Amino acid sequence: MLHAPEGEPRLAALFCHPAFDEKKSGHRALVSCARRMALAGAACLRMDLRGCGDSDLDHGEASLKMWDEDVSEAISFLGERFPGTALGLLGLRLGASLAARAAEKHLANDAAPRILVLWEPVLCGRVHLEEQLKRKQLREMLTCGRASTQGRGHLSTGSAGPLDLDGFLVSPLLREELMAFNLDRPRSFRGEVFILQISASDSISPAISALAENYKKAGSNVRSEALREAPFWNQLDPVECPTAVDRTLEWLESLPLLKSR
Amino acid sequence: MSEDLKTSLKKLLVERLFLGIAPSDIEDAKALENYGIDSVSLLELVVGIEEKYGVSMEDGDFNIANFTTVNAIADCLGRRLPK
Amino acid sequence: MKHPETERQVTFTCRGSRLYGILSSPPSDTGRGVVFLHGWAGQRTGPHRIFVQMARRLAEEGVSSLRFDFRGRGDSEGDADEASLTTMIEDAAEAVKCLLENDPRVRTITLLGLCSGGEAAIGASSLNPAVKSLALWSVPLVGGNTERTEIAKTGSALRSYFAKLGNAGTWRRLLSGRIHGRLVMRALFGHWRRQTAGASRAQEQKTLLESFLAFRSRVLFVHGSLDPGAAAVQEEYRLLCQDGKREAAFHLVEGANHNFYSMAWKRELFELTARWMS
């Protein structure tokens, strides 16, 4: 879905959605953000990664590598569709992690993204996978009184077969990629970075601080903010999270890069 | 069971789950569902417990009996904490 | 799996709001179509893509389909807080028209609803003559909480039904589930629809019950056996169907919860629904 502004866009932004059940609950906030950014002059592309949403393939066929390719294709699409327009990536949860990965790959050319917005990024794939397993175990507990699925021990020494995460099949490849994935390493991306921590805490966590620091060391201008809100990507009812959108828009409006057009 | 642990758990519940009540309003033996806690809240609670107390919930801990009240959670958690 | 020529985005409007959906028009033509109706807080893909997968399964058999986001949900316009069963029913009726207009090969339609989407299916069932059957996944019991005095007291099935509703034991069975009351109910119903207050709720449920009783065609009920109260809900619907005016089939997916959260349960759900539809 492409949300196009009236007139020439000041920014072309790709939205990267969360994985698993987080995608459903996080959806409306991303829709709201895209609509409001379009009103403010940004062309916003929201897409479903392969194996997700309405896109091709089953989830069991997906991998991080495939999702990286999807993001790259979308970046190329935006670059061709809006030549000369600043490109940005906005991601939520694992989508933020994918955005961060893509930013590392598309460097130093005219069509490279220059703006990165990370809403509560998944910093460690293993922890993320373990959380999804806990979600499954809690559902089993609520249905049957106790969980029957093995948890993190199963992840480390588990079978070679796919993992059924409550209807989302995780291939051995995706499981391996997630177990190995970590954002806690030096960054190469140089641009404008906004990291929005959305949690029960109103102070920035050490892990987010470390991520911000890595971006600064690479030469990025970084703003990190802590937004004390319930993690809406885990809520049962759809939540638009207007404050997250407000903060993001405020930051975008402050960027000299977007004022220069 | 240590009153400090129960007090700390109530604080965690209120803060982590955005309950909008004071920790002291939560009764030790009252069913948590009375405070609007649902399945997604339980995930936040489990993650919060692990982060705050540095424990790992084991597979066997995912038993409904361990999540009904503050007392139940405290009992379960107490078994995980170093003495 | 997807055939590139099979699926495309469509939009339609309802009360001035644009709704977004995906139309699946397979190459082979059976004249049959399905409109998927997601649950209260869901989206057109359904939980864990259950509607996407079912749509593609049906496409293999030449059945067209439309899955869309209700107003205030997913990609569709509209205020999330203003959504209600009434708006869902209106949206469903427009979706039926959208399918018929965009795939003129379709002559008969099944409304396939999940949870509150099933209620919307019931509510929309008589709004278009093309709707010939209802596939209701995890549908709640309609007519609940309705004051007995507000219902037309004709028909033995109706009287029997409300006699049962007045029995506290019935409600204990329906609501107690296997485990723990509200915590489990909200958890497993997942997208637990916000209850409209008092008289509006009563009227809403009265209208739904009347819609169900007026529907004179085929209905499939599928619940997970571990969805709290599922067996009791199906029992109540059996009572309602005793008047013989509709061909009703009932199925419990063994071990499944409310949203059929596993590959195995989904497969069983797809197979039995597709078989029933064919």
Q: Tell me, what amino acid is at B26?
A: I
Considering the entire predicted model, what is its pTM?
0.90
B33 with C182: CB under 8 angstroms? yes
pLDDT in the model for residue A7: 92
Confidence of residue C163 (pLDDT cuts 50, 70, 90): very low
pLDDT, position A106: 83
Chain C residues in contact with A145 (beta carbon < 8 A): 178-179
Residue C173 pLDDT grade (very low, low, confident, very high; cuts 50, 70, 90)? very low
Task: Indicate the residue of B38, B39, B64 with minimum beta-carbon distance to A146.
Answer: B64
pLDDT in the model for residue B81: 85
Token digits of residue C228? 């709290």
Q: Nearest chain C residue to A60 by CA: give it.
A: C263
pLDDT at A29: 96
**Does C154 have pLDDT greater than 60?**
no
B64 touches chain A (CB under 8 A): yes
**For testing the chain A interface, which of B15, B43, B55, B67 should be mutated: the one with the most A CBs within 10 Å?**
B43
Which residues of chain C does B66 touch, with a Cβ-Cβ cutoff of 8 Å?
none
Q: Is the pLDDT of residue C161 over 70?
A: no
Q: What is the pLDDT of residue C3?
A: 54
Question: Stretch C1-30: mean pLDDT, rounded?
Answer: 89
CB A18 within 8 A of CB A67: no
d(CA C78, CA C98): 18
pLDDT beyond 70 at A159: no
Most confident option among A67-76, B36-45, C170-179: A67-76
The mean pLDDT of A60-81, rounded to a whole number, is: 96
Interchain contact, B38 vs C188, CB within 8 Å: no
Look at residue C105 in the predicted model and tell me its pLDDT. 96
Which of the four pLDDT bands, split at 50, 70 and 90, describes residue C145? Answer: very low
Is the separation of the CB atoms in A111 and A75 below 8 Å?
A: yes
**Residue A92 φ/ψ, nearest 5 degrees:** -120, 130
Average pLDDT score, chain A: 93
Residue type, A7: G
B48 touches chain A (CB under 8 A): yes
What token pair was written down for A82? Answer: 């809006």
Q: Which residues of A touch C52 (CB under 8 A)?
A: 53-54
Check whether A48 has a pLDDT greater than 90.
Answer: yes
Question: For residue A157, what pLDDT is reported?
Answer: 59
Query: How many Å lie between the alpha carbon of B83 and the closest alpha carbon of chain C?
Result: 32
State residue C180's pLDDT score. 40
Q: Look at residue C133 in the predicted model and tell me its pLDDT.
A: 97
Proportion of chain A above pLDDT 70, given as a percent: 95
Q: What band does C166 get if pLDDT is binned at 50, 70 and 90?
A: very low
More confident: C95 or C80: C95
User: Rounded mean pLDDT of A198-213?
Assistant: 96
- Judge contact between B32 and C183, C-beta under 8 A: yes
State the Cα–Cα distance between residues A251 and A261, nearest whole angstrom: 17
pLDDT at position C156 over 70: no
Q: Establish if B2 touches chain A: CB-CB under 8 angstroms.
A: no
User: C153 pLDDT band (50/70/90 cuts)?
Assistant: very low
Q: What is the mean pLDDT of residues C214-231?
A: 93
The predicted model gives A158-187 an average pLDDT of 90
Dig out the tokens for A152 from the structure. 């993190």
Q: Which of B42, B44, B46 sits opposite A231 (nearest CB)?
A: B44
How far from B20 is each of B1, B7, B54, C163, CA to CA, in Å?
26, 16, 25, 41
Residue C32 pairs in a beta bridge with C108
**pLDDT at B60 exceeding the cut of 60:** yes
- Which range is least confidently modeled, A118-127, B52-61, C142-151? C142-151
Residue A49 pLDDT more than 90?
yes
For B11-30, what is the mean pLDDT?
94
Q: Is the pLDDT at C187 greater than 90, yes or no?
A: no
Q: Given this model, what pLDDT does residue A158 score? A: 58
Long-range pairs for C263-266: beta carbons < 8 A, 24 or more residues apart: C263/A164, C263/A167, C263/A169, C264/A164, C265/C224, C266/A167, C266/C48, C266/C50, C266/C53
Gap between the Cα atoms of C32 and C99, Å rounded = 11
Give the minimum alpha-carbon distance from B72 to chain A in angstroms, rounded to a whole number: 14
pLDDT at A204: 98
* Chain B nearest-CA residue for A137: B62
Q: Is B59 on the interface with A (CB under 8 A)?
A: yes
Q: With a CB-CB cutoff of 8 Å, which residues 4-43 of chain B face chain A?
A: 15-18, 38-40, 42-43
DSSP state of B19: -
Given a contact as 3+ CB pairs under 8 Å, which chains touch C? A, B
Of the candidate ranges A207-211, C28-32, C185-189, C252-256, the one whose mean pLDDT is the lowest:
C185-189
In the predicted model, what is the mean pLDDT of residues A208-221?
Answer: 97
pLDDT recorded at residue C244: 82
> What would the DSSP string read from start to end of chain C?
---TTTEEEEEEEETTEEEEEEEE--SS--SEEEEEE--TT--TT-GGGHHHHHHHHHHHTT-EEEEEPPTTSTT--S-GGG--HHHHHHHHHHHHHHHHHH-TT--EEEEEEETHHHHHHHHHTTS-TTEEEEEEESPPPTTTT--GGGS---SHHHHHHHHHHT-HHHHHHHHH-SS-HHHHHHHHH-S-PPPPPHHHHHHHHHHHHHHHHH--SEEEEEEETTSTTHHHHHHHHHHHGGGSSSEEEEEEETT--TT--SHHHHHHHHHHHHHHH-
The mean pLDDT of A190-213, rounded to a whole number, is: 97
Question: Does the pLDDT value for residue C189 go beyond 90?
Answer: no
pLDDT at position C197, please? 52
Note the pLDDT of residue C146.
Answer: 39
Pairing outcome for strands A86-92 and C7-14: unpaired
ipTM of the complex: 0.94
Looking at residues C69-84, what average pLDDT do you find? 94
Q: Which residue has the tokens 């495309």?
A: C8
pLDDT at A251 over 70: yes
Q: Which chains touch B (3 or more CB pairs under 8 A)?
A: A, C
Tell me the residues of chain C between 161 and 190 that have a Cβ less than 8 Å away from chain A: 178-180, 183-184, 186-188, 190
> What's the CA gap between C142 and C176, in Å, rounded?
17
CB-CB under 8 Å, A131 with B62: no
Q: How sure is the predictor about C113, in pLDDT bands with cuts at 50, 70 and 90?
A: very high
Percent of chain C residues topping a pLDDT of 90: 67
Answer whether A234 sits within 8 Å of B64, measured CB to CB: no
pLDDT band for C177, please (50, 70, 90 cuts). very low
Q: Which residue of C has its CA nearest to B35?
A: C183
| pLDDT given for residue A161 in this prediction | 83
What are the chain A neighbours of B57 within 8 Å (beta carbons)?
134, 151
Position C183 scores a pLDDT of: 44
**Whether the predicted pLDDT of C188 surpasses 90:** no
Which residues in B lie closer than 8 A to residue C182 (C-beta atoms)?
33
pLDDT of residue A109: 65
Q: B64, A141: Cβ pair inside 8 Å?
A: yes
pLDDT at C165 over 70: no
Cα distance from A250 to chain B (closest Cα, Å)?
25
Residue A169 to residue C263, Cβ atoms within 8 A? yes
The mean per-residue pLDDT over the stretch B28-42 comes to 88
DSSP A51: T
Average pLDDT on C106-130 reads 97
Tell me which chain B residues have a C-beta less than 8 angstroms from the C-beta of A153.
Answer: 59
Which of A105-119, A210-224, B43-57, C3-17 shows the lowest per-residue confidence on average (mean pLDDT)?
Answer: A105-119
Q: Decide which of A159 and C269 is more confident.
A: C269
Contact check, Cβ <8 Å, A139/C190: no
C55-66 per-position pLDDT tens digit: 999 999 999 999
